[in-house]
Structure 1
Amino acid sequence: MDRPGLDTNPLELGPDWFNTLFAEIGIDAEVKSLTSKSIGTGQIGENVRFVFEYAKAGPDAPKTLVGKFPSGNETSLMAAKMLNHYKREVYFYRTFPKVAGRITPDALYTDYDEATNRFALIMEDMSPSEQGDQLKGCGLVEAKLALSAAAVLHASHWEDPTLDDYDWLQGSSKAPPPGLGPEQVAGLWGAFKERYAAQLNADQIEVGDAYAASLPKWGDSYTGPHALTHSDFRLDNMLFGPPGAAKPLAVVDWQTVGRGAPANDVAYFIGAGLTREDRPRHEQALLRYYHDCLKAEGITSYSFEDLYQHYRWFSFYGISVAFAAAMLVKQTERGDEMFLTMLRRHTAQVRDNNAMELLNQVR
């Protein structure tokens, strides 16, 4: 087979390639023609929807599929290589079946080339599911779906020592040092402040300055449980299905999957996913809901008090995602608005939960 996204422009994939793929994975179909269209607003990878017309089709022949491929932007390609994003996403789908498919689209085909850092991921099309809107935020129904999925993810490998066996998994003991160390991430804050000076207020700068100064020690100061985590668990990476859908939520973009703190995903989602007006009203109830979902998945040793303390600790995480990503990926108008919105929401989350006092522990 030609390797899509590796040897071929994915928008130019033709019937022969898919016929070979379908034969290999056991789908009874003969593609006569197809159309390809770029979809989504991904800043690290490019997504393509394929719509098929068949010469013959068995009952399992998909009407459409979605493929994910390397970004066409050189800046994003360099960031993906430095941060190991493409390899990590492909290997996630291959390695963790207790999660992949249950709260994600089903993956029909994965490919990754170590030498060139090219990859391809062919998945079920979740249409008519709709992508979450990071800028708009979400309501309680969507938030509960997301936190229920987080509990499934975290409980699947809660305190699992085998997570350390994977050198490609972010945060494992065998993983190489990250492409960007905490000192380098902290340095990006200065560049972010300079670029967006006119859009930041004094309160946001104070929180960012304090966090950046603490970053070299911040990550190593956590002593709570570890699990399989998404690490970019936010609305733009979620597809919400219509009422009655077999998968009411599918979580995508697993390029940052790792061994990490469960409360990190939770704090990141609630802080960025709810508006500054809605979060304070629903924060505690949503944390209780996530905690109940964890217990329903069999995790009964994690107290709510510990969860809340860890939630406060990781309310800072979204700040670093916002300013670091803004400086590492291609700059777009929507990207600017999204990263600034995230930073504003997370700095408010830090203030509302009196989390600034926690930084005194690591200075």
Structure 2
Amino acid sequence: MAISLQHAGEFTVALANQLLAEALGDAITAVQVTPLGEGVGLMSSIGRAVLTLASGKSTSVVVKVIAQTENVSISKQLNFYANEIDFYRYLSPLCPIRSPKCYFADIDPETQDFLLILEDLGAAAAGDQLKGCDEALMLQGFEKAAQLHGRFWGKTDQYPWLRYQNVPEVNQFRQDVVFRPGVAPTLAAFPEYFTGDLADVVTQIGENFVSIFERAMSGTQTVIHGDYRIDNMLLPEVDGEIEIVAVDWQNTTGGRGPHDIAYFSSQSCGPEMRGATEMAALRRYHEILLDEGVKDYSFDQCLEDFRVNLMITMITPIAIIGTMDSGNERGVELGRVILERGLSSLIAMDCGSLLKELKLG
């Protein structure tokens, strides 16, 4: 029987000893769980468990369980919880992007209730999407993604447990339940951001989301993070340099590589990063893919894939603002910030023109 919890606060001394005492090499005498971060648990509930050990020392771990908001039904429909459990069970040791050490991962296949216990790298290292990133971090984000995608490019069939982004019924769910219903509330909430023809562009993306998504995910598949943004990164300093540690692998699937960098750029990088800075990072991404052995993939194709994927990444601000429970004030502000950034990406990469070229009707 799977071991899962409804609330991080249900992580007791008895359960901690059952799951962690051997790995820690000491008995646990007390557990204190507090919520981890504000506005970071849109799709899951996360807590920091401080463990008092029999030796008198203390340590801490991160405990992750299902969301305690209306978002739980969307998370289960999109297999978010199963995806992350599978990543830590099977893929994390092979992944070139560092992720927290996993102490325990289990899920109930029927209810999708789960329990994930991870290494705690400390609050000081947490990325902040509201602050965004500088040019150096943007470049590292593109480089790390290229290493991940290059490692698994064309090899996803070696992992039979891996789910894929491009699933017809899930695509329809994204369009009809997540994107379309959120467009009008988003336009009403922030009309000042929809300059020029942006309102029409975003509406057309929503109306044709299934077709655009299928195009965005077409071609050779690789393993993608799927929710690759600053809030899902820890940024510890290693040998004097900031190193990206990726967390929240809930949308990890087979998909098209440029999706991750389109998502990262449009969600985590401000309008000042558009133009030459973004294009240089994209060229570096493509160079690393070639260095990793990717064949028959031109930069022009990479650029077009990037532009198409920018369109479908608009689902995130639309969902946060117009469809889902934003969680708290930070969640509301996050929706506003990534909406502004996402729209700036559509403008910079002239996605409105590309939308017409795709001839979606």
TM-score range, shorter chain: 0.7 to 0.9
| C-alpha contact 1:163 1:228 (8 A) present in aligned 2 | no
| C-alpha contact 1:322 1:339 (8 A) present in aligned 2 | yes
Q: Which moved more, 1:103-112 or 1:154-163?
A: 154-163
Q: Select 2:333's aligned residue among 332, 337, 344.
A: 337
Unaligned runs of 5+ in 1: none
Q: Which residue of 2 aligns with 1:31?
A: 28
Distance 1:97 1:191, change over 3 A: same
Q: Select 2:80's aligned residue among 61, 82, 85.
A: 85
Amino acid at match of 2:113: R
Greater relative CO (CA pairs within 8 A, separation 6+): 2
**What does the per-residue CA deviation read over 1:149-178, in whole Å, with 9 as the maximum and x for residues that have no partner?**
212321232112416733x613267x9645
TM-score, normalised to structure 2's length? 0.87
Q: What is the alpha-carbon distance in structure 1 between the residues aligned to residue 30 and residue 207 of structure 2?
A: 56
Q: Which residue of 2 aligns with 1:305?
A: 300
Q: What is the alpha-carbon distance in structure 2 between the residues aligned to residue 121 and residue 337 of structure 1?
A: 28
Q: Which residue of 1 aligns with 2:277?
A: 282
Q: Which residue of 1 aligns with 2:219?
A: 224
Aligned residue-pair number: 354
SS at match of 2:53: strand
| C-alpha contact 1:172 1:258 (8 A) present in aligned 2 | no
Q: Is structure 2 residue 159 aligned with structure 1 residue 169?
A: no
**What does the per-residue CA deviation read over 1:59-94, in whole Å, with 9 as the maximum and x for residues that have no partner?**
xx9821111111222x12222222221122111211
Report the Cα offset of residue 270 of structure 1: 1.4
Question: Where in structure 2 are the equivalents of 1:33-48 lying within 5 Å?
Answer: 33-40=30-37, 41-48=40-47
Q: Is structure 2 residue 168 aligned with structure 1 residue 182?
A: no
Q: Which residue of 2 aligns with 1:16?
A: 14
Amino acid at match of 2:213: G
Q: Which residue of 1 aligns with 2:5?
A: 5
Q: What is the alpha-carbon distance in structure 2 between the residues aligned to residue 50 and residue 179 of structure 1?
A: 38
Q: Is structure 2 residue 266 aligned with structure 1 residue 271?
A: yes
SS at match of 2:219: coil
Q: Which residue of 1 aligns with 2:352?
A: 356
Q: What is the alpha-carbon distance in structure 2 between the residues aligned to residue 113 and residue 84 of structure 1?
A: 12
Q: What is the alpha-carbon distance in structure 2 between the residues aligned to residue 322 and residue 190 of structure 1?
A: 10
Q: What is the alpha-carbon distance in structure 2 between the residues aligned to residue 14 and residue 214 of structure 1?
A: 48
Aligned Cα root-mean-square deviation (Å): 2.8
**What does the per-residue CA deviation read over 1:101-128, in whole Å, with 9 as the maximum and x for residues that have no partner?**
8521111100111232211100111125
Distance 1:283 1:116, change over 3 A: same
Q: Is structure 2 residue 238 aligned with structure 1 residue 240?
A: no
Distance 1:100 1:18, change over 3 A: farther
SS at match of 1:134: coil
Q: Which residue of 2 aligns with 1:136?
A: 131
TM-score, normalised to structure 1's length? 0.87
Report the Cα offset of residue 221 of structure 1: 2.7
Q: Which residue of 1 aligns with 2:201?
A: 207
SS at match of 1:347: helix
SS at match of 2:343: helix
Unaligned runs of 5+ in 2: none
Report the Cα offset of residue 348 of structure 1: 1.9
Amino acid at match of 2:26: A
Report the Cα offset of residue 247 of structure 1: 8.4
Report the Cα offset of residue 54 of structure 1: 1.5
SS at match of 1:29: coil
Q: What is the alpha-carbon distance in structure 1 between the residues aligned to residue 36 and residue 120 of structure 2?
A: 11
Report the Cα offset of residue 252 of structure 1: 1.0
Report the Cα offset of residue 230 of structure 1: 1.4
| C-alpha contact 2:83 2:252 (8 A) present in aligned 1 | yes
Q: Which residue of 1 aligns with 2:49?
A: 50
Q: Is structure 2 residue 144 aligned with structure 1 residue 149?
A: yes
Report the Cα offset of residue 298 of structure 1: 3.3
Distance 1:128 1:101, change over 3 A: farther
Q: What is the alpha-carbon distance in structure 2 between the residues aligned to residue 245 and residue 163 of structure 1?
A: 37
Q: What is the alpha-carbon distance in structure 2 between the residues aligned to residue 116 and residue 184 of structure 1?
A: 21
Distance 1:220 1:244, change over 3 A: same
